[in-house]
A and B are shown apart, each in its own frame.
Chain A
């Protein structure tokens, strides 16, 4: 199995306050790094901000340089049709194969046509193996530039 299906996700640990998220986007904007998706998981006083960006390695470096606590994680990104039941079928397949989704979020690229689901599973290789047998497209990093 190649790198196919695995993309890098940026996670940033930050205080739960508006200025921090603004600062993150500011840093990336200065570096001409495009944000494809952003999601915030919140503890009480802090949050973990997850980002899919056009150039994750560079984003990681610049955020680190700016003093942020950053991590790079591999996630699976699946492109699918934007229609009812699409997500359900996908999750059903994962469940049948005993793969627990630790974290997931999605975004729509073109309404009614294409959506992307980002999922984080423990055993990423197994996840990819199962999903690659399904009629869905697993995205690679290059695809993120072209979205």
Chain B
């Protein structure tokens, strides 16, 4: 792969757009092999030749989270199953998750993008990279891992949690780079302080990739100061391969989206109308370099804007601002996407509780805690504290198994929570980003 100023990162816009048009056409051809898109394209009369410039993407319909779910598991695959080598599923769904399939080439291309991101931040052979994201179905572990190997660094597949072990690994192998959630980075700093380990003096860290959760500039600065590192914001979503969709360059002002792999748009979340660069709206992404599972005009639900000016680093791929929020009421806790509607589904399946509930998100010692406050039904109460405790445990384990987040459950007397007309405020986020 070509590196430096002649690489694809610095390609002229006209050239980049040519690649986009060609790849978008190819994507439509490929997508036509998937049951979902075949049906839609036929209904709407969409053909690859309709695409003459990148703006023609607006002729194509949006794809939503619900589409992915309703067509779970195989409705979106555009290759025969024997050409598919990996599946990841997204976190935070009840019953039907979102499944994302990769061909061998897709795995390789996704890794290539991560490697590109890492090189952009100055990482390379000689670095020791400790991946503290969860391995398994979550893309943050494996997808990043493959990319890091491609970038030529030494990879420690540490996975999430187990703080003692993380510290030991960092010291034994002289880790220089970590991939970590911002909340865990802060928690880890607390533990290091307790142990009397000065992260700046006694660890060898120089780069931190902060991903999987939104956070503020202040949090980043705090982490940079504690560890004495350069911290880079990375944005990703499993529907678009996972991590490495957007990544900061050394200027650390906005995240470049690799436009040779994705077409990015920002639209008005209500009307779906495309917005000009600089205007805040919902990020919409199209994969144009994926074969197993092309996704067209995916409504990410993330609020951002596209930087109207070219980046000072010289890379021609446009940048988005750090994610400002969500179009829906989704929140992210410990790197897991949680939709209140999913919590609601669990509660509604529990006959002992009433309809009124509230989700409070708090931060204790830098770790996020989800507290579910729910009213019990009057007739459930039989005078037994044991039965109440059993109910609490039941809700806790149900939420844990379906959403992959362990909540605290608080049982309330009927009538405790405020009744509101219309859309009530279900989620109270007390975290200070």
B411 close to A45 (CB less than 8 A): yes
- Whether a CB of chain B sits under 8 angstroms from the CB of A107 is no
Given A43-B388, A43-B389, A46-B388, are A14 and B383 neighbors across the interface (CB < 8 Å)?
Answer: no
Assembly CA distance A68 to B386 (angstroms): 19
- Complex: how many Å from CA A9 to CA B381? 14
Chain A residue with minimal CB distance to B392? A43
Inter-chain contact B410/A69, CB cutoff 8 Å? no
Question: B384 near A: Cβ within 8 Å?
Answer: yes
In the assembly, what is the distance between CA of A32 and CA of B27, in Å?
79
A140 within 8 A of B: no
Of the candidates B376, B378, B415, the one having the most CB atoms from chain A within 10 angstroms of its own CB is B378
Using CB atoms, name the residue of chain B closest to A10: B383
Q: Which residues of B contact A50 (CB under 8 A)?
A: 383
A70's nearest neighbour on chain B, judged by CB, is B381
Which residues of chain B are near A11, meaning CB under 8 Å? Answer: 381-384
Leading 9 A-B pairs by shortest Cβ distance? A11-B383, A71-B383, A69-B381, A48-B385, A41-B385, A73-B383, A45-B410, A13-B381, A69-B378
Residues in chain B near residue A70, CB distance under 8 A = 381
Most chain B CB within a 10 A radius of its CB, from A9, A42, A45: A45
A27 at the interface (CB under 8 A from B): no
B381, A71: Cβ atoms under 8 Å? yes
How far is it, in angstroms, between the C-alpha of A73 and the C-alpha of B383 when the chains are bound?
7
Q: Does B401 contact A (CB under 8 A)?
A: no
Q: A45 — which chain B residues lie within 8 A by C-beta?
A: 410-412
20 contacts between A and B (CB under 8 A): A13-B381, A13-B411, A13-B413, A15-B412, A15-B416, A41-B385, A43-B385, A45-B411, A46-B410, A46-B412, A50-B383, A68-B413, A69-B376, A69-B378, A69-B413, A71-B381, A71-B382, A71-B383, A73-B382, A73-B383
Q: Give chain B nearest CB distance to A10 CB in angstroms.
A: 8
Q: In the assembly, what is the distance between CA of A66 and CA of B388, in Å?
A: 21
Instruction: Let me know if A67 is at the binding interface, CB within 8 A.
Output: yes
Contact residue range for chain B?
Answer: 10 to 19
Using CB atoms and an 8 Å cutoff, list the residues of chain B in contact with chain A.
376, 378, 381-386, 388-389, 392, 410-416
Bits for A43-84, please: 1 = Cβ < 8 Å to B, else 0: 111111010000000000000000111111100000000000
Closest to A69 in B: B381
Which label, helix, strand, loop or mixed, suits the secondary structure of the A interface?
strand
Interface class of chain B by DSSP: mixed
Bound Cα distance from A70 to B297, whole angstroms: 54
A16-46 CB mask vs B (1 if < 8 Å, else 0) is: 0000000000000000000000000111111
- Please, which residues of chain B bring their CB within 8 A of the CB of A102? 386
Question: What B residues does A72 contact at CB under 8 A?
Answer: 383
* In the complex, chain A residues whose CB is within 8 Å of the CB of B392: 43
In the assembly, what is the distance between CA of A13 and CA of B384, in Å?
9
Bound together, the chains give a CA A89 to CA B272 distance in angstroms of 78
Could you tell me the distance between the alpha carbons of A13 and B411 in the complex, rounded to whole angstroms?
A: 10
Bound: A9/B385 CA distance, A: 14
Q: Does A48 lie within 8 Å of B412, measured CB to CB?
A: no
Q: How far is the CA of A7 from the CA of B392 in the complex (A)?
A: 29
Q: Which of B383, B392, B411, B413 has the most CB of A within 10 A?
A: B383
Q: How far is the CA of A82 from the CA of B124 in the complex (A)?
A: 81
- Tell me the bound Cα distance from A100 to B388 in angstroms: 20
